[in-house]
Structure 1
């Protein structure tokens, strides 16, 4: 034992010299730099990793639960299928048909968004729904009961139901059907508060209060149907409309292209496709009917307008006809021209007649002359040069005869006297001719005068007619305006009717089905990958949430790394959890299990203590903690035992006089001790108690005094320490917790090596701030810490993890001596770097 301890001390001395030389003969531990109170408040990666490792089973459990929940959801959720189609609307502007649109638009123009919205509302209107109900059998839904879910038998039901419902409350009621054979079945349903269950025959009328039924078989009926559970539900029009409205989606896809998308969702893919196809068909029929109705209305309007215009035209024709008949003219302006021409011609004729009358008067005067001399050679024709203008052959002939008679008289008178017979005969002939001429002149003059009178009378008539013609012209124009208007309207309406009839013969649908109803393949809901992804993500989120909660709620020290990162004092070592037995009180165990991991860890602490106070042969070590329960008594007793096993005399003082535990660790009494020594009731020799280790003694706390702090401050305490230094190499003091009382601080000031105990998973992180505060305030530059009761990850970096010990290829000497030195060397090198 002695040789082993001597070898250890020699190795320790050599390693210490190596450390001092590498550090330039600096002290082993420098005064730490002041640290802010908020140091270590950032993200602690090591703690986070530790929390993740501890939470990993829970995270895996959450992920499994999430995936199981996804599987359960998929198992008990009916899949939803979607069928869709795309329509292109080519709306026509029917106003141009009648020529009323002007130059506003052509026969076809792109629809606006408002017009497309109107088409959407038409598709979702009750008009389309009603035709859907009439064309598809949506009023009776057939279902087959499976092991988990029920499935709708659309067009595949083994039976068909014909019904007549008088009681509206039976709509939506579940009618259960179970076939006993091909000819018989059991029908059961709830009617109010009563349960009806009856056996009936196939194709037999069933008459119950409020409903009449008849069930017949379909080609899908087979022997497998017998004994299985089926049911059907009868829906009213309101329920069908609600069903269609909830599952039908109609939206404008591209307003510029005038395209509309129609989609329908249902648990049965065939039913969804049939409904979309039927909507397209019904919409086509409705649009054709709408266009046909519009055309019929247009033709009806044209016919009505033609009838009205025809009647008005006939009335205008009759009025114009009566006017023409009454006024014997159809063109008053032409009549005015004709009358004006007639008046001009009449005036010209009257002037000619007047000239003729004047000429006749001149001739009459000339003829009435009685004396004709022998020398008078002038004739009537010569006397009146314009006599030829009379244009009267008889009168001209008579005047010629008169001229001849006068010439004959003048010839005879040149040779005979007036008394001669020849002259007398010639005179009689002249008188006769003159009488004839005068009669002719009178007759001509009378005719001319009559003609002049007729002309004057006609002139008056024409003048009177001209005076009434303006009024007739106005009346005629008034009658012609409605006639021409109605005639033009009638011809226009006839022309448009012919054009519209030709256009109607080539009427085509004004929309196209760009994409017919698609056949649903995979369900749109639930999507297996998405559901499993959600379950997986939920499990991960819950796991991460657990990690976050545990990380933010993690307020205890769990590892030496946390202790180093948050505390200014160096870490002497880590003591693992003692798992061999449950200790109700602290006990000395290193003598019973010298090769255990806990013994090895305390030996490492003992070696590190050699580095920190190797120049002193006599050492005073105080061991304290923040609160009770952190294991300071356990560490003090076992550390003292390990030091005592290295051939050093050790005495343990229990100064936790308020709650003494050292005597319990050794199984001794506490009748006398430190308190009785300080009050001089007993000497220290009387209070020394021996242990199973020859070089280890202890002095219990003694009876609890009322003033522990004052006793510690008394000179008797220093005298006690001096006496003990003379007899022992190491004085180990178990002090009270500094977080509860100040006694521990008083003792730490006297100690060569104050040690602060931190218990893993028990001491709060806030306690480390208390250690830092003690170092800065009281100048405890040699204060060191020990992590007690560490498990697994809390021991990493110190060679104790996973039961590291003798059976792994390393001897006891290596583990006891070399490994603690290298551990301390690494920490010191990190500290002085």
Structure 2
């Protein structure tokens, strides 16, 4: 039951170790800052070299790249049209457009062949003169020591390089390529040259021709129109700066700053000239249009005037509407008079009936005059007198009748007088009636005439309005055209360009490309990026263990110690060095390992220590030999067994023979005493591997091997076993199972990181709980906190002298 519990406990421990190991392995797959810093530190010389190469490349680029200069000017262009200036736009105002709409047309005008043609006529851009320098050629814009005039008959001479070398101020050599063959000749300055398809004449410029011109190499190129237009299109830039302010920027790029400035200024000039020419042309066209339209409308106006005059003669009026108003007023006034006459006619009728009545039988208090209101409106004085007389007679008759009878003479006389008066009034009334009737009939006829005349007036008014409309329109337009013509002629006297040069082109002092600061920044950044890339590549390609932190992160085995690099001498095979340099750092590091071994195996006085590694070359034999030497120097008896029977090295470390050893002991050919070899240290012995057997693994599994260890235990305190690499054969694992303390050697900068997984696997599968690791051949940067001079003072150890000089230190860092 106890055995079962012990087995379960071991299984739990193994699983726990496996989980811990897997966690270690997972942790080891992350970013290792220490390793990254170490790789970066080692890469610093290369980074400095790459930065230097980047800056050198920038300098070479600037040295062999021609600088490009840019000159610019800013124009303000007013958006105006001739129709808008004349007030002839739609609705009497200029049509509303989006800001900058007309500016786009001005941009196209500036970049048009029209401006280019004027520019080429103003500047001599068709021939470019150059002088060849040590690296680059320079254009001699306006500073050429010679000028050429030409007439090309064969277009093949365009865009061809003509070399010019002056042998004297009066002679020069001209050469050019005709296909692949060079054509050359010596000519006199000013001499007309008649080449096949080219007439040429070269003259010198006294201002720029000096002694240096005799040693220089010149050449010139004659550009055709297409190439020149392409050159202008490529380097000319016209941009709208502010559409609301109508500002345009004109820029030109060239290798020669003076040429760029002259081209921009000349573009401004020729654009001004072109705008003035267009404006003058537009003004002439506008004046011609105004004159033609004025003549046309004048003819139409005269025709309209003749039609109105004919209408006035035919209808005897100039204003039908006014005549209609007059006729209508006459009709109203006549109607008022007619109504008065009708009223009078009614009054006469009433008066006639009253006069015929016998007033004596009526109301005695009333009379004829009192019975007819408005009698005064008759405007007949005699009739009024007679009526008044009739009234008096009636009053008198009434008075007499109150005193007399009808038969009396007085009454009769008065009645005779009354009848006579009535007869007179009756006759006057009839006369008035006839007169009123005649007046009424006359007014009726006049009314009919006026109504007939009024009925005919609308047609005449319509006809007159039809004639009046074109007359007024032609008159107004004609007057407007005359005024506009006058205003335009007055404005034309002060015609100016419709744009202003806000900022004229200046001579550029610094090139726009290449920008020196930017190029050097790019070179610096490129060197840094390449350096970082180198660090990243070296980090990802860094598959070897270099420091203790990597070893501790990637394995679950404890770190027993670190052995620094031994560069005191160059050894072809492993040797015992601790006895020769007891004060060296390597001796002290192995002493530290010896001390740590005492802590691990403190419960047992005698110990078996196996030393192995993954592959050959990791320093397993070197560590075994020197660790045995350090332990032996502490007054302990130590024996080293070389069980790497396939590739024995222990005997080489001590300078011994290998004719007999472990293999001959296990086959009982020799005894242990016969195979033990002594060293310079009295307490240190070793047994070599012996001749290589065909079956090393079977020999180790032989019980004779256990007997060998048991017998050695009787005479030695520590048995150090140099085992074969466990990554190649299984012998090492068999020996590690028999050891009290298995040691695993990892060589810095040599052992692969993948080997560390083998350590974890060994611990997990074989339950090597005491397995410890030793980092061998570690550099100073890989010690990661381990110091072997602590407390002893500087200069205690006999260390190699550090290299002096920058080159030596760089060589050591790179290696």
TM-score range, shorter chain: 0.7 to 0.9
Select which of 135, 142, 164 maps to 1:155: 142
What's the CA shift for 1:806? 10
Which SS does the other structure have where 2:561 is aligned? strand
Report the CA distance shift for 1:336/1:786 in structure 2 as closer, same or farther (over 3 A): closer
Q: Distance in 2 between matches of 1:104 and 1:310?
A: 22
What's the CA shift for 1:731? 0.6
Specify the alignment match of 1:65 in structure 2. Answer: 53
What's the CA shift for 1:755? 1.0
Q: Distance in 1 between matches of 2:605 and 2:70?
A: 90
**Is the Cα–Cα contact under 8 Å of residues 170 and 191 in structure 1 kept in the other structure?**
no
**What whole-Å deviation, never above 9, does each CA across 1:489-526 have from its counterpart, x for those lacking one?**
32232222222223333333222222111221111222
What's the CA shift for 1:762? 0.4
What's the CA shift for 1:34? 2.6
Aligned pairs for 1:2-13 (under 5 A) are: none
Select which of 575, 594, 616 maps to 1:587: 575
Report the CA distance shift for 1:473/1:562 in structure 2 as closer, same or farther (over 3 A): closer
Specify the alignment match of 1:117 in structure 2. Answer: 104
The answer to whether the aligner puts 1:141 opposite 2:140 as a matched pair is: no
Which SS does the other structure have where 1:38 is aligned? helix
What's the CA shift for 1:622? 0.4
Q: Distance in 2 between matches of 1:342 and 1:571?
A: 141
Select which of 46, 49, 53 maps to 2:34: 46
The answer to whether the aligner puts 1:182 opposite 2:169 as a matched pair is: yes
Q: Distance in 2 between matches of 1:810 and 1:482?
A: 127
The answer to whether the aligner puts 1:552 opposite 2:555 as a matched pair is: no
Specify the alignment match of 1:281 in structure 2. Answer: 269
**What whole-Å deviation, never above 9, does each CA across 1:518-561 have from its counterpart, x for those lacking one?**
22111122222222222222222222221121122111112234
**What whole-Å deviation, never above 9, does each CA across 1:274-293 have from its counterpart, x for those lacking one?**
11111222222222223322
Q: Distance in 1 between matches of 2:316 and 2:187?
A: 96
**What whole-Å deviation, never above 9, does each CA across 1:455-493 have from its counterpart, x for those lacking one?**
xxxxxx999999999988777665555444433332232
What's the CA shift for 1:640? 1.8
Unaligned runs of 5+ residues in structure 1 are 1-30, 344-385, 387-460, 816-833
Specify the alignment match of 2:244 in structure 1. Answer: 256
Q: Distance in 2 between matches of 1:464 and 1:524?
A: 95
Which sits farther off after the overlay, 474-483 or 144-153? 474-483
Report the CA distance shift for 1:805/1:588 in structure 2 as closer, same or farther (over 3 A): farther
Q: Distance in 1 between matches of 2:198 and 2:474?
A: 65
**What whole-Å deviation, never above 9, does each CA across 1:680-737 have from its counterpart, x for those lacking one?**
4444334333344443322233444454444433433222211110011111111122
Which SS does the other structure have where 2:183 is aligned? strand
**What whole-Å deviation, never above 9, does each CA across 1:33-68 have from its counterpart, x for those lacking one?**
935122233333322232222212111111211121
Aligned pairs for 1:190-209 (under 5 A) are: 190-209=177-196
Q: Distance in 2 between matches of 1:628 and 1:487?
A: 121
Q: Distance in 2 between matches of 1:800 and 1:165?
A: 90
Report the CA distance shift for 1:125/1:800 in structure 2 as closer, same or farther (over 3 A): farther
Report the CA distance shift for 1:339/1:53 in structure 2 as closer, same or farther (over 3 A): closer
**What whole-Å deviation, never above 9, does each CA across 1:4-31 have from its counterpart, x for those lacking one?**
xxxxxxxxxxxxxxxxxxxxxxxxxxx9
What's the CA shift for 1:82? 1.3
Q: Distance in 2 between matches of 1:706 and 1:579?
A: 37
What's the CA shift for 1:741? 3.0
Which SS does the other structure have where 2:168 is aligned? coil
The answer to whether the aligner puts 1:626 opposite 2:614 as a matched pair is: yes
What's the CA shift for 1:595? 5.3
**Is the Cα–Cα contact under 8 Å of residues 583 and 796 in structure 2 kept in the other structure?**
no
Select which of 760, 782, 785 maps to 1:772: 760
Q: Distance in 1 between matches of 2:464 and 2:19?
A: 127
The answer to whether the aligner puts 1:486 opposite 2:474 as a matched pair is: yes
The answer to whether the aligner puts 1:791 opposite 2:769 as a matched pair is: no
Select which of 645, 662, 666 maps to 2:633: 645
**Is the Cα–Cα contact under 8 Å of residues 163 and 211 in structure 1 kept in the other structure?**
yes
**What whole-Å deviation, never above 9, does each CA across 1:132-155 have from its counterpart, x for those lacking one?**
111111111111212221111111
Q: Distance in 1 between matches of 2:795 and 2:308?
A: 139
Specify the alignment match of 2:259 in structure 1. Answer: 271
**Is the Cα–Cα contact under 8 Å of residues 32 and 568 in structure 1 kept in the other structure?**
no
What's the CA shift for 1:208? 0.6
Which SS does the other structure have where 1:180 is aligned? strand
Q: Distance in 2 between matches of 1:664 and 1:334?
A: 149
The answer to whether the aligner puts 1:731 opposite 2:722 as a matched pair is: no
Unaligned runs of 5+ residues in structure 2 are 1-16, 332-379, 381-448, 800-815
The answer to whether the aligner puts 1:535 opposite 2:523 as a matched pair is: yes
Which sits farther off after the overlay, 725-734 or 712-721? 712-721
Specify the alignment match of 2:501 in structure 1. Answer: 513
Which sits farther off after the overlay, 196-205 or 767-776? 767-776
Report the CA distance shift for 1:231/1:111 in structure 2 as closer, same or farther (over 3 A): farther
Which SS does the other structure have where 1:163 is aligned? strand
Q: Distance in 2 between matches of 1:147 and 1:277?
A: 32
TM-score, scaled relative to structure 2: 0.74
Specify the alignment match of 2:369 in structure 1. Answer: none
TM-align CA RMSD: 3.8
Q: Distance in 2 between matches of 1:86 and 1:110?
A: 23
Which SS does the other structure have where 2:249 is aligned? strand
Which SS does the other structure have where 2:572 is aligned? coil
What's the CA shift for 1:807? 11
**Is the Cα–Cα contact under 8 Å of residues 597 and 805 in structure 1 kept in the other structure?**
no
Q: Distance in 2 between matches of 1:337 and 1:579?
A: 138
Report the CA distance shift for 1:638/1:334 in structure 2 as closer, same or farther (over 3 A): closer
Query: How many residue pairs get matched?
Result: 669
**What whole-Å deviation, never above 9, does each CA across 1:775-811 have from its counterpart, x for those lacking one?**
444443332222222233234644469xx99995437
Q: Distance in 2 between matches of 1:462 and 1:782?
A: 148
What's the CA shift for 1:164? 1.0
Which sits farther off after the overlay, 33-42 or 271-280? 33-42
**Is the Cα–Cα contact under 8 Å of residues 576 and 800 in structure 1 kept in the other structure?**
no
Specify the alignment match of 1:9 in structure 2. Answer: none
Q: Distance in 2 between matches of 1:653 and 1:338?
A: 156
What's the CA shift for 1:272? 1.0
Report the CA distance shift for 1:743/1:198 in structure 2 as closer, same or farther (over 3 A): same
What's the CA shift for 1:161? 1.4
**Is the Cα–Cα contact under 8 Å of residues 87 and 93 in structure 2 kept in the other structure?**
no
**What whole-Å deviation, never above 9, does each CA across 1:581-628 have from its counterpart, x for those lacking one?**
543333334445555554444344334333433443211110011112
**Is the Cα–Cα contact under 8 Å of residues 585 and 797 in structure 2 kept in the other structure?**
no
Which sits farther off after the overlay, 766-775 or 536-545? 766-775
Q: Distance in 1 between matches of 2:326 and 2:624?
A: 156
Q: Distance in 2 between matches of 1:504 and 1:134?
A: 28
Which SS does the other structure have where 2:184 is aligned? strand
Specify the alignment match of 1:445 in structure 2. Answer: none
Which sits farther off after the overlay, 143-152 or 95-104? 95-104
Report the CA distance shift for 1:50/1:187 in structure 2 as closer, same or farther (over 3 A): same
Aligned pairs for 1:252-331 (under 5 A) are: 252-317=240-305
What's the CA shift for 1:316? 4.4
Which SS does the other structure have where 1:39 is aligned? helix
Q: Distance in 1 between matches of 2:169 and 2:82?
A: 60
The answer to whether the aligner puts 1:754 opposite 2:750 as a matched pair is: no
Report the CA distance shift for 1:79/1:97 in structure 2 as closer, same or farther (over 3 A): closer
TM-score, scaled relative to structure 1: 0.72
